[in-house]
A and B are shown apart, each in its own frame.
Chain A
Amino acid sequence: MTSAVAATAGIGRRENLLTRLWQGNTGPVLIVVAAILIFWYAMAVHMNAPWQQRLNDRAGEEVSFTQFVDQTWSQKKPLLPAPHQIVGEIWNATVLTDINSRRSLAYHSWITLSATLLGFAFGTALGVGLAVIIIHNRASDQSLMPWIIASQTVPILAIAPMVVVGLGAVGITGLFPKALISMYLSFFPVVVGMVKGLRSPEAIQIDLMRTYSASPWQVFKMLRWPASLPFLFASMRVGVAISLIGAVVGELSNAAGGGLGVRLLTGSYNGQTIQIWAALLLAAALAAILVSLVGVAERFVTRRMGGAA
């Protein structure tokens, strides 16, 4: 998307690629990312230095400054691992490890991803269903809506362990409890967005439908539903991101089940900082991919419906 913006900025004027990148978001973003990486490496030296110093003193070694910097970037359990260590760990644990072994990050990512997607699908379906009920029934609008909002004051992430343990006590384990947490988190933005979206057609448009003697179902199918799609996609983008968070937190209380959350937890128990950062970065990548997939779906659907994509 950023490159598209950069491309349109350059239309009409003959400018080279560099200037075009500069005027869009891409150039600035790349520079900020580079600055963050440099800062990160510097912080890695700063934070890992005291421990490395003590190691070297104990061994009685004298090292040059460049050697010392290199040492701080290659500790086994650094306070702050350098970016290349994390990337190396991800590479080792995904590509170079058997995908079915419990040491493979791809295996754990798949566990998290499947719970996320299942919960997200349920949450979206529940959200759309509730929104349809709410806009067609005034009593449920006035009585349901405040409680849907109140439902989000229960910090579900905080009680995720209880949900998982409680359901485990009656024999429901595996994917389902985590998906339930994801669902609880993701249905809310969808309800709110869809109620807004299904109500977005103006009165004059609904009146027109009535003059055509359209049935409520036809009004829904031909007017309300298409009008609500932009709202649905905006909500889904929020929903899929928090679904992932729900799945990760849900995994914290079932260490045997696997998943990125478990990698975080075992990493923190064993002081394996590189493992923690690798799981964290992978979770971030998953979130980014899921959000952009929703964006792609949105563009596809709006184009199919004849909207300006």
Chain B
Amino acid sequence: MNMSLVAGVVIFWLAAWALNEFLVRRFSANRAVRLFVPLLFGVTLLVLWEGITRGLAVPQVLLPPPSAIWARLTDSTSILWADFQQTFLKSVLAGYAIGCISGFVVSILVDRSPFLRRGLLPIGNFVSALPIIGIAPIMVMWFGFDWPSKAAVVVAMTFFPMLVNTVAGLSATSAIEGDLMRTYAAGYWQTLFKLRLPAAAPFIFNALKINSTLALIGAIVAEFFGTPIVGMGFRISTEVGKLAIDLVWAEIAVAAVAGSAFYGLVALIERATTFWHPSIRGGGA
């Protein structure tokens, strides 16, 4: 144990906190400050983590310090890249695309029949709350050990949020707008493409964003149920068994960055395509 290190870290933490408090009180309108404050908080968190794990000699098995994780990350890029390819580029992207597109198509079909809409929507809402991830062992049995079974899990997980959100979005237009389209003698498809789909875009993007995080988690967890000897979920579960926790954290860091980047990309596309929507025009998130 190294108490002086711990004390130093605590002092750093208090100082950073005081600085944040001061900055927010004095310059909260300043853009740079608004960016700096959460950044400082994050740095503080890392310093606290490093200092406490080293100072209190926390066993590596429980929580390795960030510096050790970074060293491991730069050391084993080839393993991490292979896992990333297997899990993200194959399972996640394939499953995400199929799940979102099929959910979207089904909701357009359902939308034509009010009967189906009333019947399917409560079921879709119900299924969205279920632990769908549990179908992973069944999918492994049906589609084999390689990535298609993981993609199938991702499809099942992403389908229902997309269905529910798109159906909700398609009913977001008011009757008066629909009447206006009718006075223009617009047909069903014209109304769909020119009025209702644009109005549903915020809902659809909401589903796309929810699904971007769901897809990654689904693919990783599905790999716990059997996989070839590559993949992020496989690596995490086997390295935990070998107590190589620093490599596990490196894998988690990759997953977190990939997940955030995926989410960020969808959010950027949303900003670019639904720039007219009040929630984006207002400058809010």
Show the binding face of A for B, using Cβ within 8 Å: 2, 24-25, 27-29, 31-33, 79, 138-139, 142-147, 150, 152-155, 157-159, 161-162, 165-167, 169-170, 237, 241, 244-245, 248-249, 252-253, 260-261, 264-265, 267-268, 271, 273, 276-277, 279-280, 283-284, 287-288, 291
Q: How far is the CA of A33 from the CA of B134 in the complex (A)?
A: 21
Q: How far is the CA of A158 from the CA of B83 in the complex (A)?
A: 14
Q: How far is the CA of A29 from the CA of B118 in the complex (A)?
A: 7
Contact flag A32-B141 (CB < 8 Å), given A139-B24, A283-B130: no
Which residue of B has the minimal Cβ distance to A2?
B122
Among B20, B129, B221, B241, which residue has its beta carbon within 8 angstroms of that of A158?
Answer: B221
Contact flag A159-B119 (CB < 8 Å), given A147-B38, A276-B138, A287-B131: no
Q: At the interface, yes or no: B45 with Cβ under 8 Å from chain A?
A: yes
Among A32, A161, A245, A288, which residue has its beta carbon within 8 angstroms of that of B120?
Answer: A32
Contact flag A268-B248 (CB < 8 Å), given A28-B118, A142-B28: no
Contact flag A265-B225 (CB < 8 Å), given A28-B118, A157-B133, A166-B62: yes
Interface size on B, residues (CB 8 A): 62
Whether B20 contacts A143 by the Cβ 8 Å rule is yes
Q: How far is the CA of A2 from the CA of B38 in the complex (A)?
A: 45
Among B38, B116, B232, B252, which residue has its beta carbon within 8 angstroms of that of A146?
Answer: B38
Q: At the interface, yes or no: B79 with Cβ under 8 Å from chain A?
A: no
Q: Which of B5-13, B256-264, B270-278 contacts A (4 or more CB under 8 A)?
A: B256-264
Q: At the interface, yes or no: B191 with Cβ under 8 Å from chain A?
A: no
Q: How many pairs of residues, A versus B, come closer than 8 Å at their CB atoms?
A: 167
Binding site secondary structure of chain A: helix
Whether B224 contacts A264 by the Cβ 8 Å rule is no
Q: How far is the CA of A146 from the CA of B39 in the complex (A)?
A: 9
Among A162, A170, A283, which residue has its beta carbon within 8 angstroms of that of B134?
Answer: A283
- Other A-B pairs beyond A157-B220, A245-B131, 8, CB < 8 Å: A24-B118, A29-B119, A32-B119, A139-B17, A153-B259, A169-B59, A241-B130, A268-B141
Contact flag A287-B38 (CB < 8 Å), given A152-B213, A155-B220, A155-B256: no
Among B116, B123, B130, B248, which residue has its beta carbon within 8 angstroms of that of A159?
Answer: B248
Which residue of B has the minimal Cβ distance to A238?
B129
> Which residues of the other chain, A, contact B70 by a CB distance below 8 angstroms?
none
Contact flag A162-B236 (CB < 8 Å), given A28-B116, A153-B263, A245-B133: yes
16 contacts between A and B (CB under 8 A): A2-B122, A31-B119, A139-B24, A143-B20, A143-B24, A150-B42, A155-B220, A158-B220, A159-B252, A166-B61, A170-B59, A245-B133, A264-B137, A265-B137, A276-B138, A291-B129
> Which residues of the other chain, A, contact B263 by a CB distance below 8 angstroms?
153
Contact flag A284-B130 (CB < 8 Å), given A147-B41, A155-B255, A155-B259: yes
Q: How far is the CA of A108 from the CA of B10 in the complex (A)?
A: 43
Q: At the interface, yes or no: B135 with Cβ under 8 Å from chain A?
A: yes
Q: At the interface, yes or no: B108 with Cβ under 8 Å from chain A?
A: no
Q: Give residues 1-38 of B contacting A (CB, 8 Å).
A: 17, 20-21, 23-25, 28, 34, 37-38
> Which residues of the other chain, B, contact A249 by a CB distance below 8 angstroms?
133, 221
> Which residues of the other chain, B, contact A27 by a CB distance below 8 angstroms?
119
Which residue of B has the minimal Cβ distance to A146?
B38
Whether A277 contacts B138 by the Cβ 8 Å rule is yes
Q: At the interface, yes or no: B216 with Cβ under 8 Å from chain A?
A: yes
Among A28, A143, A157, which residue has its beta carbon within 8 angstroms of that of B115?
Answer: A28
Whether A158 contacts B137 by the Cβ 8 Å rule is no
Q: At the interface, yes or no: B195 with Cβ under 8 Å from chain A?
A: no
> Which residues of the other chain, B, contact A287 by a CB distance below 8 angstroms?
129-131
> Which residues of the other chain, A, contact B121 by a CB distance below 8 angstroms?
25
Q: How far is the CA of A103 from the CA of B132 in the complex (A)?
A: 23
Whether A28 contacts B119 by the Cβ 8 Å rule is yes
Q: How far is the CA of A167 from the CA of B17 in the complex (A)?
A: 30
Q: How far is the CA of A146 from the CA of B63 in the complex (A)?
A: 23
Q: How far is the CA of A126 from the CA of B211 in the complex (A)?
A: 26
Report the minimal beta-carbon distance from B26 to chain A, rounded to whole angstroms. Answer: 11
